[in-house]
Amino acid sequence: MKKIKKLGNNSLDGIKLFLLTGFLSCTSFITYSQSVIPQEAVTVSPEDSLVEELPTVEAFIPTADVNKVREGFQRMQRSIPLQYNSTVHSFVDYFIYKKPSFTKKMLERKNFYFPIFEKYLAKYNMPDELKYLSMLESGLNPKAISHAKAVGLWQFMKPTGGDFGLRVNEFVDDRMDIEKSTEAACKYFKQLYSIFGDWELVLASYNTGPGNLRRAIRRAGNVRDYWQLHPFLHKDTRTYVPQFTAIMYMMLHADEYGIFPEEIMEPVTTETVTIDGFLDVETFSNASGISIDDIQKLNPQILKGVLPAHSKGFELKIPAVNYAYFEANRQMILDSAQGRGIEPVILASNNSERGVIIIGGNTNYSASNDRNNGETIVEELDKPAKVEDDIKKIHKVKKKTYTVRRGDVLNKIADKYNVDTYDLKTWNKLKSSKIMVGQKLIILHDDEEVVEIERTIKAERKNKNSIEKNKPKYHVVQRGDTLWSISQRYGGISVEKIKKMNGLHSNAVKKGQKLKIV
């Protein structure tokens, strides 16, 4: 590791101030990341204040002790020769001071996913520290979907996922399968390493793509050292390896900065049940006594709450503690979950009746048509805003002071200024949510223009979701369907209501008939 010069205000003059926009950067190479680079306090004019109660503010991000961070890096055991420098340090500051809530969330989730990551990294003889990459790609969320339609913990695009055996259809998306996607990522790492022979270049190529990285290498005169190549990379890819280095440091040293997990996701030992044919997941849950939450957490690749009749060899994960009961009652449970024989159908959005969603069970997804290639893509509705949506442009961070008033509640103050409650507590060294009238609270806030952009984005997302939810929903009649079975499938809607909405004068329905449900 090269020794770096001690960081100070003078050494940081002239460095642009960036905010992180792409923790969930994806292998589509479209969503990237930017960092907070600390610089001298810069006075901001009063008109930049959000409200009258906030005084003149200054650009501000605290900075961690350089010697302490350097020593922490030197103690880290790793296979990838990651370098510590001022750019990496800026990300350490970001994860400590500006976004401790992200660090906390990763601490809470890692115990559940890391044993799986470690198993496959060891299987393919890959460096163990690659497990931290999924934090930047997806925030350890197997259902993460980027704007570019990259999906899952490791953010595979559909063609790349297909190259590594990840199947995608209306009912199952293996890119969300925890184990299959992780094994595919390990195979991809191995392929990239065979091309570049350097782990820092592997990380960069995972973000920008091997083709783009090759072109950057040629522009640099065939330089193959990551930091010498740095100026020739896309400006957002330049932050990717420093991000990775910083989040790895934080996962090992967060407690030294007062960041601790609260609700830890513990690892779950599982057993596999092989499913052939139709399966209603909710009915399986009820019959087996396994909570639907556990089934969904262990099988995030199931998109629609059902498996279709043509399913073959689907590996359903269930908690090992429930397996003995399942085995003792296997026939009864599977007969119940597979007995309806109703297969849901999705029509692509180029159907003659635009805006129609054909559904066949409990689902939080809608089908949309990708205009670029005509394929049907399943998108999650009402998914939580991702980290990359927090900040939409380069801007300054400001330190503001808020004086607590009578009737104020901490989470309401956080909502008012569009920050996380945990971050607000961390900035002010609060051990609880209790605050007192007259108390001064520090708020690390984004400038007014950016805050308004974020509010607009959230309003547009909320309006889009509302429109999607209000689209008419239809059921295509399958063999064996009756109005009664259809009514029960859709939350117990009455048979009479279905008949009235569809102008039916009897209970007779035919296969292929389309019935309006909502």
Report pLDDT digits (tens) over 249-289.
Answer: 999 999 999 999 999 999 999 999 999 999 999 999 999 99
DSSP per position, 129-160: GGGGHHHHHHSS-TT-B-TT--BTTTTB-HHH
- Structure tokens, 391: 């900040």
The residue-averaged pLDDT of 361-371 equals 31
CA distance 205 to 184: 16
Contacts (Cβ under 8 Å, ≥6 apart) of 40: 9, 12, 13
CA distance 25 to 208: 10
Phi-psi region of 438 (alpha: psi -120 to 50; beta: other; left: phi over 0): left
pLDDT grade for 464, boundaries at 50, 70 and 90? low
In this predicted structure, which of 304-308, 396-400, 482-486 has the lowest mean pLDDT? 396-400
**Is residue 444 within a helix (H) or strand (E), and if so which, with residue range?**
strand 440-446
DSSP per position, 81-109: -PPP-HHHHHHHHIIIII-HHHHHHHHHH
Report whether 92 contacts 236 (CB < 8 A). no
In this predicted structure, which of 9-18, 103-112, 394-403 has the lowest mean pLDDT? 9-18
DSSP annotation of 511: T
Q: With 90 as the cut, is the pLDDT of residue 371 above it?
A: no
In this predicted structure, which of 16-25, 49-58, 67-76, 180-189 has the lowest mean pLDDT? 49-58
In this predicted structure, which of 44-48, 115-119, 370-374, 450-454 has the lowest mean pLDDT? 44-48
Report whether 124 contacts 186 (CB < 8 A). yes
Residue 56 pLDDT: 32
- Structure tokens, 431: 């051990």
DSSP annotation of 353: S
Tens-place pLDDT, residues 465-510: 555 555 677 888 887 778 877 876 776 677 788 888 888 888 888 8
| 457 burial via Cβ count (<10 Å: 0-12, 13-18, 19+) | middle
Q: With 80 as the cut, is the pLDDT of residue 88 above it?
A: yes
Q: What are the residues facing 142 on neighbouring strands?
A: none
Report whether 193 contacts 202 (CB < 8 A). yes
Residue 57 pLDDT: 34
Q: What are the residues facing 476 on neighbouring strands?
A: 514
Contacts (Cβ under 8 Å, ≥6 apart) of 47: none
Contacts (Cβ under 8 Å, ≥6 apart) of 178: 113, 116, 142, 153, 298, 300
Phi-psi region of 480 (alpha: psi -120 to 50; beta: other; left: phi over 0): left
> Which comes out higher in pLDDT, residue 271 or 411?
271
Give the chain's mean pLDDT. 75
Minimal CA–CA distance to 73: which of 59, 54, 86, 60? 86
Only one residue has tokens 């689209």, namely 471
Using the CB atoms, write b or e for 395-407: b if 16+ within 10 Å. bbbbbbebebeee
Residue 22 pLDDT: 38
Q: What angle do CA 113, 33, 245 make, to 5 degrees?
A: 55
Phi-psi region of 512 (alpha: psi -120 to 50; beta: other; left: phi over 0): left
Report whether 227 contacts 216 (CB < 8 A). no
- Structure tokens, 373: 């290639």
Residues composing the chain: 518
Q: What are the residues facing 403 on neighbouring strands?
A: 440
pTM beyond 0.75: the answer is no
Residue 51 pLDDT: 25
- Structure tokens, 169: 């259809």
| 307 burial via Cβ count (<10 Å: 0-12, 13-18, 19+) | buried
Report whether 174 contacts 167 (CB < 8 A). yes
